[in-house]
Amino acid sequence: MDLYVAAFGFGLVGMSVIAIAAVGFTMQFGITNMINLAYGEVMISSAYVAYYINRAGVTIWVGMIAGALFGAVFSFLLNRFVYSPFQRKGTSHIGMVIVSLAVSLMIANLLLPIVGYYSVSYQDTTGGLLRAGGIVLTTNQIAIIGVAVVIMLLVHGLLRYTRLGKAMRATAANPTLARNCGIPTQRVIDAVWLITGALCGLAGVVAAMNSDSFAIANGAGFLITALAAAVLGGAGQPYGAMIGAVIIGMITELSAAAWAPEYKEVVAFGILVLVMVLRPQGLLSKRGALAAAG
């Protein structure tokens, strides 16, 4: 029983990491209509930015902010100089997916000679060990949970209570109508790339902290997990992505405790497939704050 309680605690950390990544990914898709398969590589690039800052003797918490800033700027530039020109030319959805896949491969291969193929670790990211009722977590893992909660609340506040959030929702619902109503949709989209890019960068650093040791090859894994949570929750639905993150994060850890650990991801993604069969539109397709445009 202790193991299940411990696994529940680990699941809290796992779902926190996934939630940050998945919410950023699904907002990006929901508002810009872009399935950005380079998301995982931007995450891992940001993780490396934080790594080099951390290696220079700066605390990882500063590195985390730097990673978020890098992710924001990198994503913004990607959209401005790569994705937008293709979209203006009327490239189809599947064409844009292929473009983002190409960008993903280019980032990974450009990064490889710079960072190497081997795993690296942040320094002093463990923190003290806290035990409570069978749950065993480090102070830094608790901090990761806290960061995720704050981010989720900020996203909720942004979408519900700010002019920008309302403009985002309007742009997501119908960009042409939003533009005709005087909403500067291009600026909104720029803001979306900056905000979701920051979430992407932050998620990359948090995921790398969570892994203890990471390498360039982890980018693909980061993407798949974020994508799975986003799809499970309903594409383009931030609240759905949060629920998806909870399900995948928890099931991954609990199934490792209950069954053979080498199959923990098989179990989590098996449930994703099952949900997709029973409810192809995802869990929150009708009730989220955003919906896929177009």
Shortest Cβ 65–other proteins spacing (Å): 22
> Which residue lies nearer to other proteins by CB, 50 or 178?
50
**Contact with other proteins (CB under 8 A): which of 22, 225, 230, 289?**
225
93, 83 Cβ separation under 8 angstroms: no
> Which residue lies nearer to other proteins by CB, 40 or 236?
40
> Which residue lies nearer to other proteins by CB, 105 or 181?
105
Shortest Cβ 116–other proteins spacing (Å): 7
> Which residue lies nearer to other proteins by CB, 174 or 221?
221
For residue 261, state whether it binds other proteins (rule: CB under 8 A): yes
8-27 mask for other proteins (x: CB under 8 A)?
--x--xx--x----------
**Contact with other proteins (CB under 8 A): which of 44, 215, 231, 248?**
215
92, 294 Cβ separation under 8 angstroms: no
281, 234 Cβ separation under 8 angstroms: yes
For residue 218, state whether it binds other proteins (rule: CB under 8 A): yes
For residue 102, state whether it binds other proteins (rule: CB under 8 A): no
For residue 117, state whether it binds other proteins (rule: CB under 8 A): yes
Cα angle value 161/46/117 (rounded, 5°): 150
Instruction: Give the number of residues in contact with other proteins, rule: CB under 8 A.
Output: 39
For residue 256, state whether it binds other proteins (rule: CB under 8 A): yes
Stretch that binds other proteins, among 81-89, 195-203, 217-225, 267-275 (CB under 8 A): 217-225
Stretch that binds other proteins, among 23-31, 42-50, 151-159, 209-217 (CB under 8 A): 209-217
100, 34 Cβ separation under 8 angstroms: yes
CA 125 from centre of chain: 21
**Contact with other proteins (CB under 8 A): which of 107, 210, 237, 291?**
210
For residue 41, state whether it binds other proteins (rule: CB under 8 A): no
Amino acid at site 69: L
- Please list the alpha-helical segments (H only) found in the chain: 2-32, 39-55, 60-78, 84-88, 93-115, 139-161, 163-173, 175-180, 185-211, 218-233, 238-258, 264-278
59, 50 Cβ separation under 8 angstroms: no
For residue 176, state whether it binds other proteins (rule: CB under 8 A): no
Residue holding tokens 């994703």? Answer: 272
Q: In degrees rounded to 5, what are phi and psi of residue 136?
A: -120, 110
- Round to whole Å and give the CA distance between 232 and 215: 27
End-to-end CA distance of the chain: 48
- Round to whole Å and give the CA distance between 221 and 249: 14
CA 191 from centre of chain: 17
For residue 211, state whether it binds other proteins (rule: CB under 8 A): yes
For residue 68, state whether it binds other proteins (rule: CB under 8 A): no
Three-class DSSP category at 116: coil
For residue 84, state whether it binds other proteins (rule: CB under 8 A): no
Residues lying near other proteins in the complex (CB under 8 A): 2-3, 6-7, 10, 13-14, 17, 116-121, 126, 129, 136, 138, 207, 210-213, 215, 217-218, 221-222, 225, 253-254, 256-257, 260-265
